[in-house]
Structure 1
Amino acid sequence: MKASLRHSPLPHSSMPNKVTIVEMGARDGLQNETLVSTDAKIELINQLSETGLTHIESGSFVSPKWVPQMADSDLVFKNIKQQPNIIYSALTPNLQGFEKALQAGVKQVAIFTSASEGFSHKNINCSIADSIKRFEPVLSAARKQNIPVRGYLSCVIDCPHDGSTSADQVAHLAQVLIDLGCYEVSLGDTIGTGTPIRVAHMLEAVQNKVSTEQIAVHFHDTWGQALANIHQALAMGINVVDSSVAGLGGCPYALGASGNVATEDVLYLCQGLRIETGVSLTKVAQSGWDICRALNKQPSSKVSLALMNKALIAK
Structure 2
Amino acid sequence: MSLKKIKLVECPRDAMQGLHHFVPTELKSAYLNLLLQVGFDTLDFGSFVSPKAIPQMADTQQVLENLDLSLTSTKLLAIVANLRGVESAIQHQAIDYLGFPFSISETFQQRNTNSSIEQSLSTVEDMLALCAKNNKKAVVYLSMGFGNPYGDEWNDEIVEKWTDILVDKGVGIISLADTVGISTPEKINHILPKLISRFSNIEIGIHLHSTPAERFEKIEAAYHSGVKRIDSALKGFGGCPMAADDLTGNIATEDVIAYLNDKGENLNLNMDKWNEAMVLSGKIFG
Question: How much has 1:284 moved relative to structure 2?
Answer: 2.1
Output the CA distance in 1 between the equivalents of 2:152 and 2:34: 39
Output the CA distance in 2 between the equivalents of 1:173 and 1:240: 19
Change (3 A) 1:178 1:289: farther
Note if 1:294 corresponds to 2:274: no
Output the CA distance in 2 between the equivalents of 1:239 and 1:204: 11
Aligned length, in residue pairs: 281
Output the CA distance in 2 between the equivalents of 1:87 and 1:110: 13
**Structure-2 residue corresponding to 1:274:** 264
Matching residue within 242, 255, 258 for 1:253? 242
Q: TM-score, normalised by structure 2?
A: 0.91
CA deviation digits over 1:38-85, x for unaligned, max 9?
111111111011111121111100011101110100111112001452
Q: Which range moves more in the overlay, 48-57 or 156-165?
A: 156-165
Residues 121 and 127, structure 1, Cα contact 8 Å, conserved in 2: yes
Alignment of structure 1 residues 141-152 onto 2, 5 Å: 141-152=130-141
User: Any idea what SS the aligned residue of 1:59 has?
Assistant: strand
**Structure-2 residue corresponding to 1:95:** 83
**Structure-2 residue corresponding to 1:53:** 40
Q: Which range moves more in the overlay, 166-175 or 100-109?
A: 100-109
Output the CA distance in 2 between the equivalents of 1:194 and 1:107: 29
**Structure-2 residue corresponding to 1:241:** 230
Residues 108 and 149, structure 1, Cα contact 8 Å, conserved in 2: yes
Residues 34 and 277, structure 2, Cα contact 8 Å, conserved in 1: yes
CA deviation digits over 1:3-36, x for unaligned, max 9?
xxxxxxxxxxxx33443210111x1111112320
Note if 1:225 corresponds to 2:214: yes
Output the CA distance in 2 between the equivalents of 1:278 and 1:179: 35
Supply the RMSD in Å over aligned alpha carbons.
1.9
**Structure-2 residue corresponding to 1:179:** 168
Question: How much has 1:236 moved relative to structure 2?
Answer: 2.0
Matching residue within 137, 154, 159 for 1:170? 159
Question: How much has 1:119 moved relative to structure 2?
Answer: 1.4
Residues 113 and 152, structure 1, Cα contact 8 Å, conserved in 2: yes
Output the CA distance in 1 between the equivalents of 2:87 and 2:3: 38
Output the CA distance in 2 between the equivalents of 1:135 and 1:212: 19
Note if 1:136 corresponds to 2:125: yes
Percent of matched pairs sharing the same residue: 31
User: Any idea what SS the aligned residue of 1:249 has?
Assistant: coil
- Give the partner amino acid of 1:51: V
CA deviation digits over 1:135-174, x for unaligned, max 9?
2112111111121111111111121212673111112222
Note if 1:32 corresponds to 2:18: yes
**Structure-2 residue corresponding to 1:75:** 62
Residues 44 and 287, structure 1, Cα contact 8 Å, conserved in 2: yes
Question: How much has 1:231 moved relative to structure 2?
Answer: 1.0
Output the CA distance in 1 between the equivalents of 2:257 and 2:196: 25
Change (3 A) 1:149 1:142: same
Q: Any stretches of 5+ residues in structure 2 without a counterpart?
A: none
Change (3 A) 1:88 1:248: same
**Structure-2 residue corresponding to 1:210:** 199
- Give the partner amino acid of 1:50: Q
Change (3 A) 1:223 1:246: closer
Output the CA distance in 2 between the equivalents of 1:182 and 1:285: 35
Q: Which range moves more in the overlay, 65-74 or 193-202?
A: 193-202
Residues 267 and 279, structure 1, Cα contact 8 Å, conserved in 2: no
Change (3 A) 1:16 1:175: farther
Q: TM-score, normalised by structure 1?
A: 0.83
